[in-house]
Structure formats: structure tokens, C-alpha cells
A = this chain, B = another copy of it.
Amino acid sequence: MKIDNEMKLELLSKSQNESFARSVVAAFVSQLDTTIEELADVKTAVSEAVTNAIIHGYENKIGTVVIISRIIENTVEIEVIDSGKGIENIDMARQPLYTSKPELERSGMGFTVMESFMDEVEVTSSPGQGTNIKMRKTFRSL
């Protein structure tokens, strides 16, 4: 599989960077021929993953969130990586409505949104080391 384009963005885990992160990925993906809905889906999925890195991964300490995006034909691959606390039980974390922070009024729907808006979502995580969310979406609007 030939990578047609690739970018890597490193951000501080500050909540003000959430909107920046999703705009950057949307701008990168807009080199593909997507519908407005598809682009909004990608933005939303990225927003979920970056927010999770900030509030669950780093728990509001300052760390670095890395976003890698690759274009392979009409597919986009996006990785959102933190070096934060990691996830003990990935299956439980992915359940709709599950949240470890109900006191923050989290809906527990972040993973469900990512899974609904992207074609594939792979979660890799080691407690104490961090989390990698790898998502893929193929655009069929061509």
C-alpha cells in the first residue's frame, strides 16, 4: 500500500487545542474528495480521541498528544497517541455509556462515536505507558 501523503502533529494536552487538532486533520483530509458529512465525521472522531488523551490519558497534567494522519488512495488513517496512564480494560472502556469519570458528566459515548463515524477503530494501550487509537475511513463519494 503506497502512502500518498502523511503528516504528524504534536500538541500539548491543553483543552484549547482540541478544536485546533480537529481542524488540522480536517484540512489534511480535505485533499481527498469527501462529502461535508464525511469530513464532519472525521472531525468528530478526532475530537473524541484527542479529548480522551487530554482528560483520561493525562488527567489534565501537561503532556504531548501526537496525531499522525496518512492518505492511502481514498482512505485516511489517523492515529491519536498519548503517553499517559493507559487503559486497564479496553473491552470495558469501549462499551457504550461506560465512563471512569461520571463526576465530570462524561457521557461514556466517545468510543461509540469513533466507531460509528469511522470504518475501523483499533485501540492499543498499556497501563502506565499510554494509548494509541488508530482509526480508518474510506471515502466512497468519488
Contacts and interface: CB of A to CB of B under 8 A. Distances in A.
Interface of A: 5-12, 14, 16-17, 20, 23-24, 27-28, 31
Contacts of A24: 9, 24, 27
A31 B20 contact: yes
Query: How many protomers of this protein does the assembly include?
Result: 2
A59 to B, nearest CB: 19
Ranked nearest first, the 3 interchain pairs of A and B with the lowest CB-CB distance are: A8-B10, A9-B9, A24-B24
A11 B17 CA distance: 19
7 contacts: A5-B16, A5-B17, A6-B12, A7-B9, A7-B20, A9-B24, A23-B27
Nearest to A68: B10
Given A8-B8, A9-B10, A23-B27, 11 more contacts: A5-B16, A5-B17, A6-B12, A7-B10, A7-B12, A7-B17, A8-B9, A20-B27, A20-B28, A20-B31, A27-B27
A5 B12 CA distance: 7
A71 to B, nearest CB: 10
